[in-house]
Structure 1
Amino acid sequence: MPLPRQAGHPLPAAPIDPDRDEARRLLTEELESGDYRLQEPWLTRAWRWFVEQLPDVPDLGALPPWTTWAVLGLVLCAVAAVLVFASRDRWRAGRLAPQAAAGPVLGGARRSAADYRTSAREALSAERVDEAVLDGYRALAAGAIERTLLDDRPGRTAHEVAQELSPVFPVHADDLRRAGDVFDAVRYGDHRASTEQAQAVLALDERLLDSRPELAAAAPRSTVPS
């Protein structure tokens, strides 16, 4: 005879003893709940949504000829977006990487400005543009020292050359700064120069030779002007 149930005390539920299929179903429902679902990147979710919006090929029927090119264009645009997004962090890391410390413009055995100019022009003719940039800017610095527009101070960097010559040649201040940046990028930043950049450095050196300096703004001289 079954025992009477007391008020306010429900009988315990019968233990669940599912078979294999039922257990798999319960496990699947549990894993699909929010507690176990992995967070996908928004780009992956957006791509899945885009693919789901495309109609099935059998449902399209006869398509005009341009449809194939349109779909191909959409796919290429999507692939390009994925590549840009994937390379974003690498590009930012390259932009934020510390630059190498700049060194002197005129290091090692000292040569005349004319020698530097000859080497720069020969290098440019032989399409050795990096060498043309370096020797072209060295010719500019050596020429300023020979004209006593700069004192013969060892260790002067390209930035310092541009900074000290800018008041002397104010019209060419921006060109001096850009040429100094190119020199540092090639010499100490492991960058490759372009032919246009090499030509610009050599042309700047020639313009400075033809320009009259503002001597009141020149750096203190260590030698007597000739």
Structure 2
Amino acid sequence: MEGDSVTLHTDTEIQRYDLIEWRFGDKGIRIARINKTANKISIYDDVLDGRFRDRLQVNDQTGDLNITNITTQHTGLYLMINRKTPKTPYRFNVTVYAHLPVPLISRDSCSSSKCVLLCSVLNVRDVSLSWYKGNSLSSSISVSDLNIRLSLPLEVEYQDTNTYRCVLNNTITKQTQHLNITDLCQTCSNVITLIVLIISVVPLVFVSAAVIYCFCGKSQQTKEEGKNYL
């Protein structure tokens, strides 16, 4: 995880005339060197825009490389090469994961009986986003490259009493957000109920108005007829 320290162990013992080099990335950029003959350690932490600055330490007895306060920029291939021997270099593939955000649950849409919710996260990579119903996986989506927004929908009924949670995880950690159906869907349900009520009441209002109009009109007509008779 970002912020951790990692030590790349070689399980070797440096000999008197060894010349050890640590290299990083596909281009094999040198980041550290141990010259045992000269009894000298060199750290090249200004390379690659200084991403290794004040982060590298090497053990002059074992050749182990320690990287402190590691970031995602330090993901990649590391090689430990002994220039004085024909041995195959030690290879380390390091993957550094960023701290995961807590997923956000929001209401997307609603109908007369159901509510559609979205679980979303921003700017994540190498993760899975999943909905769980109780302890069972309901749906899931994964992304490997950096994504501006990752969303996963869930459709529930207003009276649903099951427990749901949205989980964002990578290979070493996870973040969970629990769903409260009542809080997110109640407003939507109330609006729909109000609309249905209005649709039901409005015709009654018109019918009532028509009845009153007819009654008043009839009364007025009767009065006029009475006057004419007199």
TM-score band by shorter chain is under 0.3
Point out the structure with the larger helix share: 1
Higher relative contact order (CA 8 A, sep 6+): 1
With the length of structure 1 as denominator, give the TM-score of the two structures. 0.22
Point out the structure with the larger strand share: 2
With the length of structure 2 as denominator, give the TM-score of the two structures. 0.22
